Copies of this chain bind each other. A is one copy, B any other.
Amino acid sequence: MRLEDVDTPAVIIDLATVERNIARVQAHLAGLGLKVRPHIKTHRLVRMAHAQVDAGAVGICCQKLGEAEVMADAGITNILIPYNIIGAAKLERLAALAQKVSLSVSADSAAVVEGLSAACAHQVRPLPVLVECDTGAGRCGVQTPAAAADLALMIDAAPGLQFDGLMTYPPIGRAAEVGRWLADAKAGIERADLACPRISTGGTPNLGEIGQIGTATEHRPGTYIYNDRSLLAAGACEEADCALTVRATIVSRPTPDRAILDAGSKALTSDLLGLDGYGLIVSHPDARIVALSEEHGHVDLGQSGWQPEIGEQVVIIPNHACVVSNLFDRIYLRHPDGTIEPAPVDARGRST
């Protein structure tokens, strides 16, 4: 189909830009001696996961078991779930998945390790488990290098598990500090005669500084495949690197200063990520998307000379690409020759 035949609101993925983004980050990280393990929650597409692996990634990273199951069914063979897997239902699925692909997970507490061990005690292969470290981002993770070493020893001693290393989502702008944290933890683990073969870091905004961490062995970038307005604002990409855009239509012009789009929070999400407004209208950056209801986007034209007509279409770079790809059952791939291919979003909506 052609772009003109795509009804709005719709997500368009530019494949040439995707290919460039994958190649650039793969080369950058390989140049730093890091293995690349892309996070698929940005795209949630089997074809993109395969493209990342084909470009040299060692495997992928999924935040949910349900996403990992979709990717495993599609032939992806090496998956990290950097999440505390808890509860009988998920642990049973985890054990089944571990028999099918090369799977690793993370843990940040004895309670999580005990659950993993009980689920995997009778597996043929032990489950590789990384210790999640809170190196400053303030989410999950053990709080000190000493606590990381303690949990590593507990994993090493737990039936069915194998200590595989450290995992963190480093805070931006503090690479050297993160590096010292991880080096301390690694040294503590090695002092206990335990090897720490893998140190996994994540993030796209920090790709420029990730080499300064030093001790990492693999990196999990996610958003780099599409990029978005938050990365544009952070100076981490150019507009031409934004592969995911939302196409929308002006459906109302109630006043000279106001235009209404058919893209609201159900298309752009309410994620602000500290930005002003809910997305960038590429053709008219001075027209601000100031408010969203679920099915309407409110555009303030007060600082713009633009006077769009009803029915006019616009291209929007959303604040946060990952959450947008979860909102659409189907996205549209734009091939280099301009043709458009609709595609279901394979792993969207996996809530468990």
Q: Which residues of A contact B (CB under 8 A)?
A: 5, 7-10, 41, 63-64, 83-84, 86-87, 89-90, 108-109, 111-112, 115, 134, 138-143, 249, 251-255, 258, 260, 262, 265-267, 269-272, 293-296, 298, 309-311, 322-323, 326-329, 349, 351-352
Contact = CB atoms under 8 A, between A and B. Distances in A.
A141 B254 contact: yes
Nearest to A270: B270
Given A41-B294, A84-B252, A138-B254, 14 more contacts: A7-B87, A7-B352, A8-B352, A9-B352, A84-B310, A86-B310, A87-B249, A108-B252, A109-B253, A112-B310, A140-B254, A265-B269, A270-B323, A327-B351
- Judged by DSSP, the binding face of A is loop
A258 B109 CA distance: 14
A113 to B, nearest CB: 11
As for how many copies of this chain the complex holds, the number is: 2
B139 A260 contact: yes
B349 A87 contact: no
Contact of A310 (B111, B271, B323): B111
A90 B294 contact: no
Given A86-B311, A310-B86, A267 B109 contact: no
Given A295-B64, A311-B87, A10 B141 contact: no
Nearest to A326: B266
A326 to B, nearest CB: 6
A256 to B, nearest CB: 10
A258 B139 CA distance: 8
A351 B296 contact: no
A351 B298 CA distance: 17
B83 A140 contact: no
A2 B8 CA distance: 41
Considering residues A115, A252, A327, which has the most beta carbons from chain B within 10 angstroms of its beta carbon? A252
A2 to B, nearest CB: 13
The 6 closest A-B pairs by CB, nearest first: A140-B252, A111-B310, A270-B270, A84-B251, A7-B89, A7-B352
